[in-house]
Chain A
Amino acid sequence: MDNNHLITTENLTKRFPMGQTELTALNNINLTIRKGEFIGLVGPSGSGKTTLLNILGTLDSPTEGSAVVLGNNTAELSHKNSAKLRNLQIGFIFQTFNLLPVYTVYENVEFPLLLQKLGKSQRHDMVVDALKWVGLADRAKSKPAQLSGGQCQRVAIARAIVKKPALVLADEPTANLDAKNSHHILKTMETLNKELGTTFIFATHDEKVIGYLKRQITLDDGQIANDQVLKG
């Protein structure tokens, strides 16, 4: 495998049981994603974007074929090892932010580092850095309920990137944001992609996101309909 390859899928197929029959969510997906890419999985609802994102994030495994993520075949990973991989190498950003409401901004961002059992001062430095990247260092002590939607999503980004993962998976990250906040968020992620070399994969059908993508993979009915590089 090319050292530059972050993700490789071969004939990746995912079927879900639907009563007596099966629904094919992904059908023979062959894909190679390199480090530092800024990719969008685009397509209508039910096209398989989230299913592919779940498999790439080791939350699910293929029915047939293989998905090798960061050198690990997802089908062979135990629950414990896939959790470890997510903890160390993969960050998630969700449509609805999913911040823990009883914790402060600082504590939300600190949480992934606690799972890594890092020391307090190291955690502090990393959290402060992450909050600076997203421009929320001054809101460290705020609770999510005291923030706007855009700020919440920036906290979610900080939480995803605080551990400096190789890969960030974002499922419709701008769906709940207005245009201004969407652009702000996308710019933040674009900067992080450039400065930290983090690979971003979005599942989206938001036109605003598409404008920022370097590569667009269009899914239709569980298959890759188009895979094109948009920016060099």
Chain B
Amino acid sequence: MIRFLLKGLVRDRHRSLFPILVVSIGVMLTVFAHSWFSGMINDIIDSNAKFDTGHIKIMSRSYAENKDQTPNDLALTGINDLLQQLRDDIPEMAWTPRIKFGGLIDIPDEAGETRSQSPAMGVALDFYGPGGEVERLNIQNALVTGRLPRNPGEILISDELAQRLETKVGDTATLIGSTMYGAMAVHNFTISGTLKFGMKAMDRGAMLVDIHDIRLALDMDDAAGEIVGYMHPIYKDNTIQSIKAEFNSLHTENDDEFAPVMLSLRDQNGLNDYLVYAESISGMLIFVFVGIMSLVLWNTGLIGGIRRYGEIGVRLAIGENKGGVYRSMVLESAAIGFAGSLIGSILGLALAYWIQVKGINLGDMMGNSSLLISNIVRTRITEQTYYIGFIPGLLSTVLGSMLAGIGIYKRQTAQLFKELEV
């Protein structure tokens, strides 16, 4: 009997192929939408992480307490050893040092006298180290004029600041600030390029310097204000929290104000609240999407059941009992729901995985944008992505069929027989 029913199922495209196609497409879209929304949240996390918080950040305990003032006199020392240790112990993350600093930018004339001057803030990066900072911050594409620093003593400044100071690529810019030890620091740089950061605070007056140069200028040998860590390819909060807990547990007994402390992305800049909000919005969107897809698939199950009323009537007349007809309808819909959900999940996951790994380059679409954000849009597959489409796909198909089949039980056989137009 099962073979007989299966034969009918395979031969009747309206009962098999088309419902499976509908279920597959619905499930695939659900899976893909979930990975897309997850990717969007991940992108928000990344944008914050790239410029400021890292996925995780290590500072000295005192620096962390006063980090809004970027107190470089409280910076971490022994950075090279600490970095090496981090890279050895937690190789799955990219670790890179950064120094934030402030000071006065002075542009001298041909005689060496001040031509223009402005306060500025700066971030020192390891431009050519293993941390991959240039790619991470998309600096190449944010260049307005000039090029990336190639030689020692070259810096990038914001285009707005360059215009205000009436300076250009190739000019000398003198940084006047204070060293790590509180002494006055005066250091000459050459402007190799100008940038548009896309963030007002930075565009007003910011510069990017290679960390080796700023260490020289601010007397911060083997020191850095912060070490930031990044997960590849995507941010996983659970992993970050366990890394943080493990790292901090090694230093809880240490009373030294220069002892390192690790903060996760959620611990900084109010991102925890933001992430909870973003996840709630994403959850709601996914809920609505899954709800709509469930209705569509339910309807498919219903239509599938209703269009077979004639066949059901004949089967009842021939002597199949109501329970047998109902069970076979549910079994068929379960088979269709399972096949469709499996195919849809595989296709959705494959597409999501492909975009997660390869990404979609929207750089051309952002031709006039110079925001320091990634041109590559990526999806993100989480544990939830594996079942977010499968379960509603299977359940709604079966429930639709069950609902359509309830009529078989509710009505008198003769009444049903009449309705079935036999």
Determine whether the beta carbon of A98 is less than 8 Å from that of B12.
no
A-B contact count (CB 8 A): 74
Residues of A within 8 A of B414 (CB): 54-55, 59-60
Residues of B within 8 A of A159 (CB): 318
Please give me the residue from chain B that is nearest to A79 by CB atom. Answer: B322
CA distance A90 to B422 in the complex (A): 16
Residues of B within 8 A of A96 (CB): 422
Number of contact residues on B: which range applies? 20 to 34
Expressed in whole angstroms, the minimum distance between the Cβ of B123 and any Cβ of chain A is 70
Residues of A within 8 A of B1 (CB): 114-115, 117
B114 at the interface (CB under 8 A from A): no
**B318 touches which one: A55, A60, A82, A112 (CB < 8 A)?**
A112
Determine whether the beta carbon of A80 is less than 8 Å from that of B12.
no
Expressed in whole angstroms, the minimum distance between the Cβ of A15 and any Cβ of chain B is 13
Number of contact residues on A: which range applies? 20 to 34
Residues of A within 8 A of B422 (CB): 94, 96, 98
A1 at the interface (CB under 8 A from B): no
Q: Which of B179-187, B264-272, B308-316, B341-349 contacts A (4 or more CB under 8 A)?
A: B308-316
A83-114 Cβ-contact flags toward B at 8 Å (1 or 0): 11111101010101010101100010011101
Determine whether the beta carbon of A107 is less than 8 Å from that of B417.
no
Enumerate B314-333 residues with CB–CB distance to A below 8 Å. 314-324
Enumerate B280-330 residues with CB–CB distance to A below 8 Å. 310-311, 313-324
Q: Which of B3-11, B69-77, B158-166, B396-404 contacts A (4 or more CB under 8 A)?
A: B3-11
Determine whether the beta carbon of B321 is less than 8 Å from that of A98.
no
CA distance A107 to B318 in the complex (A): 14
A102-B8, A102-B11 are contacts. A111–B318 as well, Cβ < 8 Å? yes
Enumerate B403-420 residues with CB–CB distance to A below 8 Å. 412-414, 417
CA distance A159 to B315 in the complex (A): 12
Chain B residues within CB distance 8 Å of chain A: 1, 4, 7-8, 11-12, 310-311, 313-324, 412-414, 417, 422
- 13 inter-chain pairs at a CB distance below 8 angstroms, sorted by A residue, are A57-B317, A60-B414, A79-B413, A83-B319, A83-B321, A83-B322, A83-B324, A84-B321, A92-B318, A107-B4, A111-B4, A111-B315, A159-B318
Chain A residues within CB distance 8 Å of chain B: 54-55, 57, 59-60, 79-80, 82-88, 90, 92, 94, 96, 98, 100, 102-103, 107, 110-112, 114-115, 117, 159
Further 19 A-B residue pairs, CB within 8 A, beyond A59-B317, A83-B322:
A59-B316, A79-B322, A83-B320, A83-B324, A84-B321, A85-B319, A86-B317, A87-B320, A92-B318, A94-B314, A96-B422, A98-B313, A98-B422, A100-B8, A103-B7, A110-B4, A111-B4, A114-B4, A115-B320
